[in-house]
Amino acid sequence: MLPLLIILGLTIFLFVWGKFPPDVVALMAMLSLYLTGILNLSETLTGFSNPTVIMIAALFIIGEGLSRTGWTAMAGQFFVKWARRKVSRLLVIVTLGSSLLSGFVSNTGTVAALLPVTVTAAWNAGTLPSKLLIPVAFGSNTGGLLTLTGTPPNIIVSNALVENGITGFSFFEFGLIGLPLLIISILYFRYVGHKLLPDHRTDNKPIAIDQEMHKWIANYSIGDNLYRLRIRSMSQLINTKIGDWDFEGAHRVSVMRLKRRHPNKLQGIHQFVEMPGPDTEMRYHDIITVKGEPEDVDKLMLKCHLGVIPMKPVKDELKRELINQEVGMAEMIITPKSVFVGKTVPMGHYLKQTGVQLLAASRNNKPLAGKIKIEAGDAFVIRGQWENIIALKSVYENLVISGSPEALSKNVDELTTRSYIALSTLVLMILLLVLNIMPGAIAALICAGIMMLTGCVPITKAYQGISWTSVVMIAAMIPMGLALQKTGVAQMAANGLVDSLGNIHPTALLAGIFLLTAAFSQTINNSATAVLMAPIAIMASMTLGVSPKPFMIAVAISASTAFLTPVGTTTNAMVMAAGGYKFIDYFKVGGPLLLLFFIATLILVPLIWSF
């Protein structure tokens, strides 16, 4: 027992110290349990085959699919629009919005999606980001209590019940307490919390795709020399391939986009070819977007019997024309050692190795047109498949890609067919869980597979969407819970709680479990906290002879109340720099909210889940 207590104490100390990543600390603790003989080999590695771990990994992929297909970005934009620049309304909306999103998307993914739009909305509404970002973080933590899959502690406590032969929680059962707590959070921030939020000024304006797009349009004159041409019935282009015409060489015009309008059973109607290549076939009534000098476009129109469709160079129309879920834009700077220095290229030229297009150029902050001889320091706006833009630096050395294409790609709020596939996949997973058709881990794996096979999450990006730190940490901490039970430490802790509080009333024991879990969650990851406390709560309830469900709900709630420190959850840490927060800010704002959650838990939980 003593070696386990030493390992547990050191593990908690290292979690709090923060010098080592939490997954490394958890792995060291797991290995220590084996090396000291507390657990055998199969017991030590049991966490890596645990359904909880597999389900959480799959949920990260599902959340990534929703993010990559535009749902989180669109939701964030809607929240800002509904506020209508009113700070009080914006405060309520971002808190509510982050809560609702985090019920289905990971807390981290929710905050990542809402952070840039919230900061921008704060400036637009005439307030500071520090007045909104803590509510976003706390709202995401609270929203995780709305569903079984909203946050890992929910899954951990539910599976702990199942492993002890007790029926787990249903998908929306957490919402019975999560919804009242959400209402409490919103009312708190609306009428009390906003007075406690600090006034910190920051200059770290995040990249927003709309702002970047509008900046490029202004600085590079992107809308200039951009035309939409319709292929008429007499055009020689009909049923020929783009590569047959050498548009760039012979006509000095670049084809950027093709919109298929002619009905076809195989191709469908209004199908877009965002980056048409040499083998793309042109048909009657197609609309091609081209870039070139006016006289060159006029010659092409006359020669090939094309009609022109007016295109207004307004920002939003150009954005819809040039950016979507698959194709994006970025800014590229040429360095003195680049292979492009000294080469002459026309605007609209495609880089052969990547298929990325040189859309516009600027030198000394002045737009360039036509053919240009590239010099060091020249800046280009490039357009291509998002993955090709991201991979550009690995293909060509000595290039600087400004901003973050990976982050920009997730902020495209246009919905596509894949967007509805991703949403349908989420609904499917919820139905599978609600109807209890199959185990949660299998349902999540199936839906994660659908996300990948349908392209909602590129297979090459699927693993990148998983927070492996969280997954490995949970897997490595599960043996600690097993060791607590095997050595009798969990029983001893449970007996201590029962002897000191249980004889008073089960509510007193509930209060003790809540406060102990909440204390751990301020400095230890909420998943690790839930893994540690779940066996203790079950042992305590069984010793007292009452139902363990109220106590497990209390563990899930209190594990998600890391309101006092910026290190308790990743979401708290994510908003710290953006809001310019200090350690004490979390304590001032989160203290009263934690107290409200504590009181609400003691009152509501016994009413919903009787002892």
CATH number of the domain where residue 303 is located = 3.30.70.1450
Rounded-to-integer distance, Cα 83 and Cα 440, Å: 37
Whether the pLDDT of residue 385 is over 60: the answer is yes
Question: Domain end: 387, 409, 431, which one?
Answer: 409
Q: Tell me the pLDDT band of 113, cut-offs 50, 70 and 90.
A: low
Q: What is the pLDDT of residue 268?
A: 44
Domain limits at 328? 321-409
Please state whether the predicted TM-score (pTM) of the whole model is above 0.95: no
Q: Please state the rounded mean pLDDT for residues 499-505.
A: 76
Given 409, 442, 476, the domain boundary residue is 409
Query: With the C-alpha atoms ordered 236, 237, 243, 248, is the resulting torsion angle positive or negative?
Result: positive
pLDDT of 383: 83
| Same domain as 229, residue 307 | yes
| pLDDT the model gives residue 604 | 94
- Domain assignment present for 10: no
Report the C-alpha gap between 465 and 462 in whole angstroms: 5
In a domain, 566, yes or no: no
Q: Are residues 327 and 265 in the same domain?
A: no
Would 245 be classed as within a structural domain? yes
**Category of 580 on φ-ψ map: left (φ > 0), alpha (ψ -120 to 50) or beta:** left
pLDDT band at 426 (very low <50, low <70, confident <90, very high): confident
Domain shared by 299 and 340, yes or no: no
| Per-range mean pLDDT, top range of 21-25, 117-121, 139-143, 491-495 | 139-143
Residue found under tokens 């469709």: 309
Q: With cut-offs at 50, 70 and 90, classify the pLDDT of residue 450.
A: very high
Does 294 share its domain with 325?
Answer: no
- Specify the residue for token string 């807390």: 107
The whole-number pLDDT of residue 243 equals 86
Number of domains in the chain: 2
Question: What is the reported pLDDT for 206?
Answer: 47
Question: Are 291 and 335 part of one and the same domain?
Answer: no
- As a whole number, mean pLDDT of residues 263-267 equals 46
Low-confidence winner among 114-118, 296-300, 377-381, 515-519 (lowest mean pLDDT): 114-118
Nearby residues of 165 by Cβ (< 8 Å), 6 or more positions away:
none
Tell me: the pLDDT tens digits for 214-241?
677 667 777 667 888 999 989 999 999 9
- Using left for φ > 0, alpha for ψ between -120 and 50, and beta otherwise, residue 377 falls in left
Specify if 278 maps to a domain: yes
- Asked whether residue 348 is domain-assigned, the answer is yes
354 and 288 in a single domain? The answer is: no
Label residue 266 by pLDDT band (50, 70, 90). Answer: very low
pLDDT in tens, 559-579: 888 888 776 676 777 677 778
Are 337 and 302 in the same domain? no
504, 461 in Cβ contact below 8 A? no
**HSE-CB of 46 using CA atoms within 13 angstroms:** 14
Model pLDDT, residue 208: 58
For residue 304, being part of any structural domain is answered with yes
More confident residue, 352 or 270: 352
Q: What percent of the chain has pLDDT over 70?
A: 85
Higher pLDDT, 484 or 197: 197
300 shares a domain with 274: yes
pLDDT exceeding 90 applies to what percent of the chain? 16
Domain membership of residue 26 (yes or no) is no
Tens of pLDDT, residue by residue over 327-359, are 778 888 888 888 888 888 877 777 877 888 888
Domain boundary among 261, 292, 312: 312
Decide if 273 is inside a domain: yes
